Structure 1
Amino acid sequence: MKVVVERATLLKALGHVQSVVERRNTIPILSNVLLSAEGGGLKLMATDLDLQVVETVEADVETPGATTVSAHTLFDIVRKLPDGSQVSLSQAERRVTVTAGRARFQLQTLPREDFPVIGESDLPTSFTLSSADLRDLIDKTRFAISTEETRYYLNGIFLHAPQAPGGGARKLRAVATDGHRLARFELPLPEGAEAMPDVIVPRKCVAEVRKLLDERDGPVEIALSSSKIRFRIGAALLTSKLIEGSFPDYNRVIPTANDRLLRIDPHTLAEGVDRVTAIASDKTRAVKLSLDSDRVTLSVTSPENGTASEDLPAIYGAPAFDVGFNSRYLLDILQQVEGDEVEVHLADAAAPTLIREGEDSSALYVLMPMRV
């Protein structure tokens, strides 16, 4: 194999694929990136056996061939090469020589035949989303993904297309929950997704897709089966296994009869919560909201540091009462609200609280209160 590729092009593609590779691997080949030079391009592939990223870049292929080298080492080398340089990759026996200007590196290789590949065939459901819609779908739900490995079926975003009540227009719905908060986001059902299975997209896949979306505007092609999902984002093709298991019936925890309504500017509330929690320690992340006529008083008590409080204007006409929340969870939700007003539907100090921008909002959040 011998191929010459522009440094910036190679660096960008390596950045996409090497982030999939775990720093510690018990299987040596999984630390490597597969380099395949053919036709007019260089194909790069990396995998952790559950997630695979492939990207093809333009290159001058002098001799076709394929081999594998350490993904992180090659990325670090290319990152430190001068801007605008041409990078030459040539393979001889069990080494790849990387040359750019007067710099020359020789890297150990492992056989291409040993590199595992996730099959991409038989993905019967396919549809397209805009980059903006997919970014919203991820950003408005992923903060609520659970990190608790015992309930592995909560370690991702639940993607499904439920039947609409009363025969209305169906939606593509994304849901994530960790048992303390729940986030739900809906989009009009894209053409081709009508028969899609209910799937749980793993946290790592979600994170890698979101990174790719930072650099790309335009349509994203999505194909899936009950066990795999594939995203085509520009020149990158990301394939992931899905989480096996059943996502719980989240509709049971979405309150429908909370009769105490608080309306407030989400930015004012978020800034106030951020300020009063400056004195909070990691052990005391609770913030108390004392609701009274058209006013909310935020307060935090820390045994180590003291107390803090702040009054905020709001629209509230129900009986006065106090409720406590985990301040980090509340801020995570408020950061996703884009409008000038957020609706907080409350019942009592122990019941789930519903948060949304309005009745027609595509995003909905549920937050469990804390005892304060």
Structure 2
Amino acid sequence: MKFRVNRDVLADAVAWAARVLPNRPALPVLSGLLLEADGDDLVLSAFDYDVSARASVEADVSEPGRALIPGRILAEITRSLPAMPVEIATSGSEAVLTCGSAEFGLLTMPVEDFPTLPTAPPRVGAIGGGVFASAVSQVAPASSRDETLPMLTGVRIDIGGETVTMAATDRYRIAAREFAWRPERPGLTAAAMVPARVLVEVARSLRGGEVSVGLGDGVAGFESVGRTTTVRLLDEQFIDYRSRLADDWPIRADLRVTPFIEAIKRVALVAESNTAIRLSFSRGQVLIQAGGGDLGRGTEVLDAELSGGDIRIAFQSQFLLDGLAGVETELVRLNMHSPSRPALITEVPGDADPDFRYLVMSLRLG
């Protein structure tokens, strides 16, 4: 194998594929990146039996071939190379990388020991990359990091014709985002549980265009601009999130989201970890309070438009901030029942059902 490729193109593709490499691979070969050069293309692949990543870039291939190279060291090297073309050629059990006056000899691993990558599942639809990335950023923070409960570490994707809903929960909050997309066939219905960390990585690496989504045989696939990720799906079991988000709310408070976020962050500076942010809503304003323990206390008052009765309610600060960060309008609405029941964060304006909904548990007021 021998090819020549642009340094920035190679470094970007290597970094993207190497992101799925396991920290503690079950087999040594799973720490490698598979390089396949043929025609005018170089394909870089990584696989850990659960997640696969493929990136295809243009290259000047003089000798077609395949090589399995330690992925993390290749990523470190390509990132530090000078801005000159890179040549990689295999010689025996070594891959020689040359860039300007720099040369590295990397020991290769047996290509035949690398597992066969899964094929991309059948395409079921496509969505604009911006909408996809926005939906993932709104929903994924509500997923759990507790690997002992795999169901809670995923994002539920419900497909119903031209509408898709993403939802996630960690038992203390529920985030859901609905958006339109272009299905492969009319009336398509499907559901899948995708690991949240994979969706976040896919969304983070998008460079524009649209995202093609595939589903089948317990695998989901996401393809955009020559880069494909496949992931093994989680068990489809999930809570009935729609019923929990549908309710009549007797108390509503509208306020500007950016000042609200900034005030919470300031006041929370004197709050101990996992303590409450207390919100006291009255006509025309909200009083934000935190602390009162060993560190001190903080208060701030903001304008708020309130309908319904006055209310005092408390939340875990980071949970509240995660919900507010998902709001893409200038105004945010807090829908409330009572101090002891969850509150629903939605965007304003809009008379129709909001696209983004975030239900967060309240904390007992001391």
Unaligned runs of at least 5 residues, structure 2: none
Report the AA paired with residue 77 of structure 1.
I
Matching residue of 1:73: 73
Deviations 1:144-198 (A, max 9, x none): 1111222211211100125xxxxxx862111111111111111125232633421
Rounded Cα–Cα distance in structure 1 between residues aligned with 2:7 and 2:28: 26
Q: TM-score, normalised by structure 1?
A: 0.92
Matching residue of 1:133: 131
Q: TM-score, normalised by structure 2?
A: 0.94
1:52 aligns to what SS in structure 2? strand
The structural deviation recorded for 1:302 is 4.0
Q: How does 1:154-169 map to 2 (within 5 A)?
A: 154-162=152-160
Report the AA paired with residue 315 of structure 1.
E
Rounded Cα–Cα distance in structure 2 between residues aligned with 1:270 and 1:22: 36
The structural deviation recorded for 1:340 is 2.4
Matching residue of 1:6: 6
Of 336, 357, 371, 2:364 maps to: 371
Tell me if the contact between 1:255 and 1:354 (Cα under 8 Å) persists in the aligned partners. no
Matching residue of 1:165: none
Q: How does 1:55-66 map to 2 (within 5 A)?
A: 55-66=55-66
Tell me if the contact between 2:274 and 2:316 (Cα under 8 Å) persists in the aligned partners. no
Greater CA deviation, 22-31 or 177-186?
22-31
Matching residue of 2:229: 238
2:211 aligns to what SS in structure 1? strand
The structural deviation recorded for 1:277 is 0.5
Alignment of 1:352 onto 2:342 = yes
Tell me if the contact between 1:297 and 1:312 (Cα under 8 Å) persists in the aligned partners. yes
**CA 326–25 in structure 1, closer or farther in 2 if over 3 Å, else same:** same
**CA 272–229 in structure 1, closer or farther in 2 if over 3 Å, else same:** same
Matching residue of 1:166: none
Unaligned runs of at least 5 residues, structure 1: 163-168
Tell me if the contact between 2:33 and 2:68 (Cα under 8 Å) persists in the aligned partners. yes
Tell me if the contact between 1:255 and 1:352 (Cα under 8 Å) persists in the aligned partners. no
The structural deviation recorded for 1:283 is 4.2
Rounded Cα–Cα distance in structure 1 between residues aligned with 2:181 and 2:35: 38
**CA 75–81 in structure 1, closer or farther in 2 if over 3 Å, else same:** same
Rounded Cα–Cα distance in structure 2 between residues aligned with 1:101 and 1:124: 43
Rounded Cα–Cα distance in structure 2 between residues aligned with 1:153 and 1:231: 20
* RMSD between superposed Cα atoms in Å: 1.7
Q: How does 1:221-260 map to 2 (within 5 A)?
A: 221-225=212-216, 227-260=218-251
Alignment of 1:343 onto 2:333 = yes
Q: How does 1:36-51 map to 2 (within 5 A)?
A: 36-51=36-51
2:262 aligns to what SS in structure 1? helix
Rounded Cα–Cα distance in structure 1 between residues aligned with 2:254 and 2:103: 63
Matching residue of 2:305: 315
Tell me if the contact between 1:255 and 1:353 (Cα under 8 Å) persists in the aligned partners. no
The structural deviation recorded for 1:252 is 3.3
Matching residue of 1:173: 165
1:349 aligns to what SS in structure 2? coil
Rounded Cα–Cα distance in structure 1 between residues aligned with 2:315 and 2:361: 7
Rounded Cα–Cα distance in structure 1 between residues aligned with 2:79 and 2:310: 59
Rounded Cα–Cα distance in structure 1 between residues aligned with 2:357 and 2:197: 23
State the number of aligned residues. 361
Matching residue of 1:209: 202
2:98 aligns to what SS in structure 1? strand
2:116 aligns to what SS in structure 1? coil
Matching residue of 2:295: 305
Report the AA paired with residue 300 of structure 1.
A
The structural deviation recorded for 1:226 is 5.2
Tell me if the contact between 2:123 and 2:212 (Cα under 8 Å) persists in the aligned partners. no
**CA 95–260 in structure 1, closer or farther in 2 if over 3 Å, else same:** same
Matching residue of 1:103: 102
The structural deviation recorded for 1:297 is 0.7
Deviations 1:311-334 (A, max 9, x none): 111111433231100111111111
Alignment of 1:15 onto 2:8 = no
Tell me if the contact between 1:293 and 1:318 (Cα under 8 Å) persists in the aligned partners. no
Rounded Cα–Cα distance in structure 2 between residues aligned with 1:300 and 1:293: 21
Tell me if the contact between 1:258 and 1:347 (Cα under 8 Å) persists in the aligned partners. yes
Deviations 1:113-163 (A, max 9, x none): 111133225x3452111111111221111111111222211211100125x
Rounded Cα–Cα distance in structure 2 between residues aligned with 1:326 and 1:223: 37
Rounded Cα–Cα distance in structure 2 between residues aligned with 1:68 and 1:34: 4
Rounded Cα–Cα distance in structure 2 between residues aligned with 1:202 and 1:21: 16
**CA 234–189 in structure 1, closer or farther in 2 if over 3 Å, else same:** closer
Report the AA paired with residue 267 of structure 2.
V
Rounded Cα–Cα distance in structure 2 between residues aligned with 1:318 and 1:23: 52
1:351 aligns to what SS in structure 2? coil
Deviations 1:193-250 (A, max 9, x none): 633421011123112211221xx11122111125111111101111111112411111
The structural deviation recorded for 1:32 is 0.4
1:316 aligns to what SS in structure 2? strand
The structural deviation recorded for 1:20 is 0.9
Rounded Cα–Cα distance in structure 2 between residues aligned with 1:69 and 1:157: 33
Task: Among all aligned residue pairs of Structure 1 and Structure 2, give the percentage whose two residues are the same amino acid.
Answer: 28
The structural deviation recorded for 1:48 is 1.8
